[in-house]
Amino acid sequence: MTRTPLIVANWKMNHGLDETIKFVAEISRSTLPDKVEVVLCPPYTSLHTLSVALGEGATIKAGAQNCHFEIKGAYTGEVSVEFLKELSCEYVIIGHSERRQYFKEDNKFLNKKLHCAIEAKLIPIYCIGELESERESGDTFNVIARQMQEGLAGLAKDQIGEMVFAYEPVWAIGTGKTATPEIAQEVHAFIRKWIATNFGTLYAELPRILYGGSVTPDNAGALIAQRDIDGALVGGASLSASNFLKIISVCR
């Protein structure tokens, strides 16, 4: 099974309108490798500008960093998946560790968002990963299994097959401490096996599982060369178009 590599930029709370336009202008001057999908996830407020700058039918896709679990209603400050679709968004990050940590989003809450995004035909990028203390106490696989079990509750096999997962060890996010390719591969293989056990082998081979956590142009190649690592979710290094292009180019 060959899965098309996927490289996703998570700009977090960075890049307003001008920076978004400049980034797209810079990235558009380069020819991307044929066999790679690229998604940019700017702040909500830059999404419209991003989609316009990319243009219709663009090979680079737009994604959001979050969404609400209801289509509409009295949820002050929240954004519906339907509004994201109006902005030509095709992907949405769900359960990033910063949402889990600072906004107390837990697996059961994230499960509702996954259902909502999938029903709206957005592709969710579901983030999972252990804290440093959980790795040190030998709990990594238990934490991942719980994030999968509770987060995916009630979803059907074919829906799992269309999802994207992102393994992001929390201790590696924004810290410069990348997981070694071997450590990352071990967890990615565990995630795929977990899907096989719970949804069947066929469906385990379908979803892309990205690695995230201090990915740079220097370490991306060795990570993406692993059997079960199908791309990267890139934070800090995605803010510079030239660095991000270098990461994309490892997929050549």
Establish if 40 lies at the interface with ligand PGA (CB under 6 A): no
Residue the block writes with tokens 């995004």: 117
Question: Exactly one of 20, 214, 219, 243 binds ligand PGA (CB under 6 A); which one?
Answer: 214
Question: Exactly one of 37, 105, 168, 228 binds ligand PGA (CB under 6 A); which one?
Answer: 168
68 included as an active-site residue: no
State the minimum distance, in angstroms, from the CB of residue 177 to ligand PGA.
Answer: 9
Tell me, rounded to whole angstroms, the distance of Cα 192 from its chain centroid. Answer: 16
**Strand residue runs (E) in 35-189:** 37-41, 60-64, 89-94, 123-128, 164-167
Whole-angstrom Cα distance, residue 191 to residue 235?
Answer: 22
Whole-angstrom Cα distance, residue 146 to residue 140?
Answer: 10
b/e code 214-244 from CB counts within 10 Å (16+ = b): bbbbebbeebbebebbbbbbbbbbbbebebb
Choosing from 96, 98, 130, 188, the catalytic residue is 96
Establish if 122 lies at the interface with ligand PGA (CB under 6 A): no
With respect to ligand PGA, which residue has the nearer C-beta, 10 or 46? 10
Whole-angstrom Cα distance, residue 56 to residue 11?
Answer: 22
168 included as an active-site residue: yes
With respect to ligand PGA, which residue has the nearer C-beta, 96 or 199? 96
Establish if 212 lies at the interface with ligand PGA (CB under 6 A): yes
Establish if 118 lies at the interface with ligand PGA (CB under 6 A): no
Q: Which residue is nearest to ligand PGA (CB)?
A: 235
End-to-end CA distance of the chain: 18
With respect to ligand PGA, which residue has the nearer C-beta, 168 or 230? 168
With respect to ligand PGA, which residue has the nearer C-beta, 215 or 241? 215
Element (DSSP H or E) covering residue 6:
strand 6-10
Catalytic site positions: 96, 168
Q: Which residues bind ligand PGA (CB under 6 A)?
A: 10, 168, 173-174, 212-215, 233-237
